[in-house]
């Protein structure tokens, strides 16, 4: 089964000098999208990337990275709603299947139920004011 995850890889001086991304792509067929990178050969650093591939291949590739001295952390995502810029138009509620976003019938203001959110990210494109974003955290 194909899956896509976001990971933080932290390299020490030794692992930063190895072509890790090349190995992960060539040997495990992982497709990468680099979201952040700050690595210096011989010094170390970190990168945040999205990895897409077969579930078993992703697991094997991360095990390989750990064996090579890379500190691996799978990142979680969370939706953040900015009440300051929200104009309570309700456009986001139309695409939120789990009803995590709803308009209060009494005040006509948007309510966000974080516990009901499944982080499908449908609301982000629906919001005309950019009041919803996804944050990554460890």
Query: Where do contacts with ligand SF4 occur on this chain (CB under 6 A)?
Result: 79, 86-92, 95-96, 98, 100-101, 110, 117-123, 126-127, 129, 131-132
Helix, strand or coil for residue 52? strand
Structure tokens at 20: 């890790």
CA 137 vs CA 9, 77, 79: distances in Å:
13, 6, 11
Percentages (nearest 5) of helix, strand, coil residues in the chain = 25, 40, 35
- Of 22 and 137, the one with the shorter C-beta distance to ligand SF4 is 137
CB of 77 to ligand SF4, least distance (A): 9
Helix, strand or coil for residue 88? coil
- Of 45 and 90, the one with the shorter C-beta distance to ligand SF4 is 90
- Of 68 and 93, the one with the shorter C-beta distance to ligand SF4 is 93
- Of 60 and 88, the one with the shorter C-beta distance to ligand SF4 is 88
User: With contact defined as beta carbons under 8 Å apart, do 77 and 132 qualify?
Assistant: no
CB of 18 to ligand SF4, least distance (A): 37
CB of 129 to ligand SF4, least distance (A): 4
CB of 7 to ligand SF4, least distance (A): 20
Encode 94-113 in three state secondary structure. HCCCCCCEEECCCCCCEEEC
């Amino acid at each position: 089964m194909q899956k896509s995850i976001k990971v933080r890889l932290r390299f020490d001086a030794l692992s930063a000098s190895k072509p890790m991304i090349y190995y992960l792509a060539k040997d495990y067929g992982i497709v990468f999208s680099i979201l952040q990178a700050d690595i210096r050969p011989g010094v170390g650093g970190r990168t945040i990337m999205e990895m897409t591939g077969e579930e078993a291949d992703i697991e094997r590739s991360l095990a390989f990275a750990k064996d090579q001295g890379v500190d691996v952390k799978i990142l979680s995502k969370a939706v953040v709603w900015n009440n300051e810029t929200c104009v309570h138009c309700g456009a986001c509620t139309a695409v939120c299947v789990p009803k995590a976003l709803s308009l209060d019938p009494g005040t006509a203001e948007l309510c966000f139920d974080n516990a009901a959110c499944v982080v499908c990210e449908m609301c982000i494109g629906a919001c005309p004011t950019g009041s919803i974003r996804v944050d990554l955290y460890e």
